[in-house]
Amino acid sequence: MKNKIFLSMTLFLGVMYLSQSQVVGTPYVFAADPINAICDGTQPTTVVEIISLQTGKIWMDRNLGASRAATSAIDYLAYGCLYQWGRGNDGHASMKWMTGASVSPINGSTMTLSSSDLDLSDPSRHGLFIKSTSSPYDWRSPQNDLLWQGVTGINNPCPAGFRIPTNAEFNAEFWVEIFTFPPPDPPATVYANGSIDWLKFVTAGYLRYDNESSIDAGRYGLYWSSTTSGTQVYYRDLLRNSMLQLISRSNGLSVRCIKD
């Protein structure tokens, strides 16, 4: 009988954990001016290496464009830049974060798709966020799957020796944390409390592909992988207990780099 009661309570607590959506922590209080996250090559993100206790892999301790590692899941100073998949540090991912977690591209946006990779050798390269309103919802036409593949990827935005993680590498880090039942920590606070607390992921949300509006900032943390599938790319929502999700490439998501 005691075992049945214990099992029932365990199941109940597990369901309660999985249903949580409240993100805890104290957000950064803005001064008079907004916070600018710059990713145009002029202000490289400080590299602080963190070794995974789960896999032994080396990661950066902060998002690209962030001025520090997070002190909470809603630390605006740790939100950083929001990249369109496959683009480099051309300024399109530079974001202005304002009170209430609203965000906008510092350099503006355009509806004109690119026919090139916009790499550093391309004279037509620019820093605009490229919106797309028709399938396959990519900033580039035609699509190119090779832009973020490895340290030698055409537009790899990470510091030297680092690259965009694959979906398999994300899975290796978070499989135990996400699929242990009941989960060891509420998914919404996993950035600070679980076996992966060293990574300190944040809830920067994402920037929509068609109208550059901010979605779920302060609630969920969406991170790009380098793994493509058809016209879309796998991403990880590391604060909503999810995996193996696909999203269009012209959305603006956070980037956390892993060492090669």
The domain locations on the chain are 2-259
Cα gap 150→242, rounded to integer Å: 24
Confidence of residue 72 (pLDDT cuts 50, 70, 90): confident
pLDDT in tens, 192-247: 433 445 678 888 889 999 988 888 787 778 999 999 999 999 998 866 555 568 99
Q: Examine the pLDDT at 6 and tell me if it is beyond 70.
A: no
- Taking the model in full, what pTM does it have? 0.82
Confidence of residue 120 (pLDDT cuts 50, 70, 90): low
Cα gap 108→12, rounded to integer Å: 47
DSSP string, 181-198: SS-SS-GGGHHHHSTTTT
Write down the mean pLDDT value for the chain: 78
Averaged pLDDT for residues 56-76: 89
Query: What SS3 state is found at 56?
Result: coil
Closest listed residue to residue 158, CA positions, set 82, 47, 67, 69: 47
Can you give the pLDDT at residue 76? 83
Can you give the pLDDT at residue 118? 81
Confidence of residue 5 (pLDDT cuts 50, 70, 90): very low
- Best-predicted range by mean pLDDT (110-114, 158-162, 170-174, 191-195): 158-162
The DSSP code for 34 is P
Can you give the pLDDT at residue 58? 95
Cα gap 116→122, rounded to integer Å: 8
State what percent of residues in the chain have pLDDT above 70: 71
Can you give the pLDDT at residue 24? 41
pLDDT in tens, 145-155: 999 999 999 99
Cα gap 142→32, rounded to integer Å: 43
Confidence of residue 52 (pLDDT cuts 50, 70, 90): confident
